[in-house]
Structure 1
Amino acid sequence: MADLRDDPAIRSLMERMPEDIQDTFTDEQLMHLKIAIGARQWGNHAVDLRGVIKLFKYRYYYVFLAGRNRRKLTSQEQKVAKFGQAVILSVAVSFVILIILVTLYLAKSALGIDMFSGFSFGLWDWFNSLLN
């Protein structure tokens, strides 16, 4: 498992030991070291929300972590990430366009401009009822 020795956490740990000691670790020992080291690395996130909720006689914990991804992604993970970004961007752009269109429609209606006589989406009436 030469890849395990290339892991940044393992490499950092190994760099702090003499070379003759580094060579004595088996792959199984390195895997356990990686697990032990990995358990300590969860605290470095831009958003780190943890808490406990008590429901009846049970207590449940929640953890919400967010931050910059420092891992190297596989090609499949990169494709999924790009697809996710495209979906989020599409939804955000669609929402902004919708807000702009609704604002323009309300402004048109407030000015009394009637594009098609006898036809209305009813948005102006609904908006007016909210204000009154």
Structure 2
Amino acid sequence: MQQKYTDEQRQIISRVMRAVPEDILSSLDSKQRDAIEMAIAVNNVRNDHYVDFRPVIGFGRWRYYAVFLLGKDRRKVPHRSNSLSIICKSIFILTSAFVLFSAAVLVLYLIKSALGIDVFQHFSFGIWDYFRDHFFN
């Protein structure tokens, strides 16, 4: 490998090249091999972001990770897919907000009912009775 790559890029390139069978690697000429190395290095750059936060959270035998990246968008994405992406994200955010709001109202209503607070006398939605019958008996 040439010296134009960082240590991290060289490690990634060597890891990928070790995964390729030896007979296929030997069939590549130096120009093809250099092109593959360049493609691997370009597509595995992690330090092009202003913020690169990748915490790992473990729960027993399961491990989850979250990635938060912030930086200039250098991808070549058509504008039509950006519009569709924005619509999908908006629908997801609105649906999530509605579900969270509904859950919060339900929890507050159950707390109010458990404390015996009646806002309107002789009127009930029946949610507390259903909850009490199914979860406390």
TM-score category of the 2 structures, normalised to the smaller one: 0.3 to 0.5
- TM-score, normalized by length of structure 1? 0.46
- TM-score, normalized by length of structure 2? 0.45
